[in-house]
Amino acid sequence: MEPDAAPVATAIRDRIAVITIDRPPVNALSTAVRAGLLDAVRRAAADRDVDALVIACAGRTFIAGADLAEFDRPPEPPHLPELTQAIEDCPKPVVAALFGTALGGGFEVALACHYRVATPGARIGLPEVKLGLIPGAGGTQRLPRLVGFERALAMIVGGDVVGAVDALAAGALDEIAGDDVVTAAAAAARRLATAAAPLRRSGALAAAAVDRTALERARRDAAKRQRGQHAPLVAIDALCAAATLPLAEGLIRERALFLELRRSEQAAALRYAFLAEREVAKLPGLGADAKPRAIHRAGVVGAGTMGAAIAMCFANAGLPVALLDVDAAGLARGLENIRRNYATSVARGSLAQAAMDERVGRIAATLDWDALREADVVVEAAFEDIDVKRQVFEALDAVARPGAVLATNTSYLDVATIAGFTTRPQDVVGMHFFSPANVMRLLEVVRTPRTAPAVLATAMRLGRALGKVAVPVMGSDGFVGNRMLMQRTRETFFLLEEGALPQDVDRALVEFGFAMGPFAVADLSGLDIGWANRKARAHRRLPGMRDCNLLDQVCERGRLGQKTGAGWYRYEAGDRTPRPDPEIEALIVAHSRATGIERRPIPDEEIVGRCVWSMVNEGARILEEGVVTRALDIDMVWLHGYGFPAWRGGPMYAADAAGLTAVHDAILRYRDRFGPDYWTPAPLLGELARTGGRFTRWARDAGATRGS
């Protein structure tokens, strides 16, 4: 399509008007598309040479929804409900030809049609809640009339996308055609035009009765699984309107609820998170020499928990992978872990046995470095020790083919030093996966000053192919995530010695929206990791700086978390529920007494403020130092690797939303109370607070309009 060409065109074939939307990339319903489609429907309805209409799309998908780019402005006419009503009211049959992903407003357009034909691979859904919205063009009123109250609840409140076969069985589609969906839709349109039966209008169908049990269950589930989010509960209200009000009134109610959410902070944050997830893949400032290299075969060094899970990532993405360990027993354990992991998915029904066999078959376990000779990329996941890394990278340098990407999964070690163990530092990059690597979406892609642009581009594209959110970062101590986490962890320990208990800190942060509290997370991953790290970093603490050794005390008692039945909490056999433990309380209280700290009640607001703003202050330094170039890089790290609530956008977005003057003031207050060692505001934060700037905007215009 030419940039200025009309996005909607009509072709009349054998008295069927095929109206085609052509607005790359996803045929979103911009104002021009809505206007064009409304006009095309009205014209075809009035055209004596037309018996029926087909709504189709060019490109890769049917309409994927309202145009998110327009959501920062007030809605402009023609509004989508006007369009969907015009389609439903059309006196001639209107058939939707669905393929790709017919989502949100796109599926609402289809729901207003009188018949829906889809390709077998089409996926449909109303995922608005994931953007902090509800369907705003009849989706909450028409879908329950087609598929029943309970099914509509599941689809709209969960926001999940459904395949064509399931959608047909549920009644959301009328026909699955071959891949020439437009021809099939035209045939259906012709049939309807000649049939004696009246058109089936979704809105005219009888309202679905409210299923009280399903309703209560949906409310409970939403409060638990989508904790803190408004949209799912509002969606339930809109669905109740569908069951209790006539269509016209239900539509008015839906629209009012939609418009309220459209203006909400949660919707703005979720929209930011959605767009940032796409933006993060675009690397600013990479030249033409940054062409990604092809990856057909992979290698992983180290068959421990991390290495085995990374090998699974490759196998899941369809890539053959050689998994090397120098220890036969370790290799066997790694393979066993892989099998067990897949078998759990098979038992749960989320993976077919045949798919498991195929994936396991892609992983070739080996003790022989020669097996890595053909690999286009090798990820090292060996022990976190610089001498071990030296041995691995020298061996890789000797065996890997020229041009292979050599990646390290190190969490804290210097990637540039590791690159220096090879004769090809330009091919070395960090690929920092998060545990469990086969589940967590975050991948920090760590470049050094010597990493070739093409290698960075390769690692980024590979990350995406593995289903990860790959975030480009410069080598720095702890990169982005762990570096900020260290700030928060420190504050959580200080809070304990000042008066809080692990359950208080966890509760406050879970209330804030974190998936889990930091102490429960530490118990889950094992306290020995943090303990070893603390010991390794002890020499960096300057004399006189405040330090809290509670973690040492807990670990010295053999309490290493869930795996030992006790950590910051206690656990009952076979049960992962963290239970507050009087022994921990006694230990903490005794520690406060011994260190002369008078315990006090600490309000949740202070817990959250100290935990989150300490991270944001570090995030500002990370930006300032150029470890990342955009605030959204930091936000993506926290959303996809550390359970930061998406509806708060990420720490840097949340700071912007709170107002950087307020954040700066809070940090100054903490500095006055706790001293400057940990609470000196980052210069960038000070500058943005003074000039009324925002991290997210600064990042976008980095350099040119710094501070705007």
**Where in the sequence numbering do the catalytic residues fall?**
108, 128
The answer to the question of residue 156 lying near ligand 3H9 (CB under 6 A) is no
Cis peptide before 543 (omega within 30 of 0): no
- Give min distance, CB of 62 to ligand 3H9, in A: 10
- Give min distance, CB of 108 to ligand 3H9, in A: 6
CA 699 vs CA 290, 620, 634, 702: distances in Å: 22, 10, 10, 5
* Encoded tokens for 71: 């959501």
- Give min distance, CB of 279 to ligand 3H9, in A: 7
The answer to the question of residue 26 lying near ligand 3H9 (CB under 6 A) is yes
Check: CB of residue 508 under 8 Å from CB of residue 514: no
Judged by beta carbon, residue 125 or residue 518, the one nearer ligand 3H9 is 125
The answer to the question of residue 251 lying near ligand 3H9 (CB under 6 A) is no
Q: What is the DSSP string of 480-527?
A: THHHHHHHHHHHHHHHHHHT--HHHHHHHHHHHT-SS-HHHHHHHH-H
- Strand 428-433 with 442-447, pairing: antiparallel
Which segment (20-28, 453-461, 488-496, 572-580) binds ligand 3H9 by CB under 6 A?
Answer: 20-28
How many residues in the shown chain lie near ligand 3H9 by CB under 6 A? 25
The candidate with the shortest Cα–Cα distance to 701, out of 688, 683, 686, 682, is: 688
Q: Which residues of 106-127 are buried (b: 16+ CB within 10 A; e: fewer)?
A: bbbbbbbbbbbbbbeebbbbbb
Which segment (128-136, 199-207, 324-332, 607-615) binds ligand 3H9 by CB under 6 A?
Answer: 128-136
Q: Cα separation of 635 and 469, whole Å? A: 11
Q: Cα separation of 157 and 144, whole Å? A: 12
CA angle, corner 99, sides to 96 and 103, nearest 5?
Answer: 80
Judged by beta carbon, residue 80 or residue 181, the one nearer ligand 3H9 is 80
- Give min distance, CB of 305 to ligand 3H9, in A: 30
Q: Return the residues of window 613-632 that contact ligand 3H9 according to CB under 6 A.
A: none
Which one among 129, 131, 147, 208 touches ligand 3H9, defined by CB under 6 A? Answer: 131
Output the CA torsion sign for 603, 608, 610, 611. positive
The answer to the question of residue 254 lying near ligand 3H9 (CB under 6 A) is no
Q: Return the residues of window 446-505 that contact ligand 3H9 according to CB under 6 A.
A: none
Judged by beta carbon, residue 139 or residue 619, the one nearer ligand 3H9 is 139
- Give min distance, CB of 257 to ligand 3H9, in A: 11
- Strand 101-103 with 123-125, pairing: parallel
Q: Cα separation of 670 and 379, whole Å? A: 42
- Give min distance, CB of 572 to ligand 3H9, in A: 41
CA angle, corner 528, sides to 525 and 531, nearest 5?
Answer: 120
Check: CB of residue 310 under 8 Å from CB of residue 390: no
- Give min distance, CB of 105 to ligand 3H9, in A: 3
3-state secondary structure of 442: strand
The mark string for 82-101 relative to ligand 3H9 (x by CB under 6 A, - otherwise) is -------------------x
The candidate with the shortest Cα–Cα distance to 369, out of 306, 316, 323, 420, is: 323
Which one among 8, 18, 21, 28 touches ligand 3H9, defined by CB under 6 A? Answer: 28
- The residue type at 256: A
Which one among 104, 463, 643, 693 touches ligand 3H9, defined by CB under 6 A? Answer: 104
The answer to the question of residue 105 lying near ligand 3H9 (CB under 6 A) is yes
The mark string for 37-76 relative to ligand 3H9 (x by CB under 6 A, - otherwise) is ---------------------------xxxxxx-------
Q: Cα separation of 392 and 167, whole Å? A: 51
- Give min distance, CB of 355 to ligand 3H9, in A: 21
- Give min distance, CB of 135 to ligand 3H9, in A: 4
- Give min distance, CB of 214 to ligand 3H9, in A: 22
Check: CB of residue 162 under 8 Å from CB of residue 173: no
Judged by beta carbon, residue 26 or residue 460, the one nearer ligand 3H9 is 26
Cis peptide before 601 (omega within 30 of 0): no
Q: How far is CA 77 from the centre of its chain?
A: 32
CA 575 vs CA 5, 511, 562, 578: distances in Å: 61, 23, 9, 9
The mark string for 558-597 relative to ligand 3H9 (x by CB under 6 A, - otherwise) is ----------------------------------------
The answer to the question of residue 127 lying near ligand 3H9 (CB under 6 A) is yes
CB atoms within 10 A of CB 462: 28
Which one among 40, 87, 118, 133 touches ligand 3H9, defined by CB under 6 A? Answer: 133
Judged by beta carbon, residue 527 or residue 646, the one nearer ligand 3H9 is 646
- Give min distance, CB of 126 to ligand 3H9, in A: 7
Which one among 135, 250, 478, 567 touches ligand 3H9, defined by CB under 6 A? Answer: 135
The answer to the question of residue 645 lying near ligand 3H9 (CB under 6 A) is no
Output DSSP code: residue 329: H
- Give min distance, CB of 2 to ligand 3H9, in A: 18
Judged by beta carbon, residue 128 or residue 633, the one nearer ligand 3H9 is 128
Q: Cα separation of 419 and 430, whole Å? A: 9
Q: What is the DSSP string of 114-144?
A: SEEEE-TT-EEE-GGGGGT----SSHHHHHH
* Encoded tokens for 700: 């976008």
Q: Report how far apart the first and last C-alpha atoms of the chain are (Å, whole number).
A: 36
The answer to the question of residue 132 lying near ligand 3H9 (CB under 6 A) is no
The mark string for 265-284 relative to ligand 3H9 (x by CB under 6 A, - otherwise) is ----------x--x------
Which segment (133-141, 338-346, 519-527, 694-702) binds ligand 3H9 by CB under 6 A?
Answer: 133-141
The answer to the question of residue 25 lying near ligand 3H9 (CB under 6 A) is yes
Which segment (102-110, 164-172, 449-457, 682-690) binds ligand 3H9 by CB under 6 A?
Answer: 102-110
Residues in the site for ligand 3H9, rule: CB under 6 A? 25-26, 28, 64-69, 80, 101, 103-105, 108, 127-128, 131, 133, 135-137, 139, 275, 278
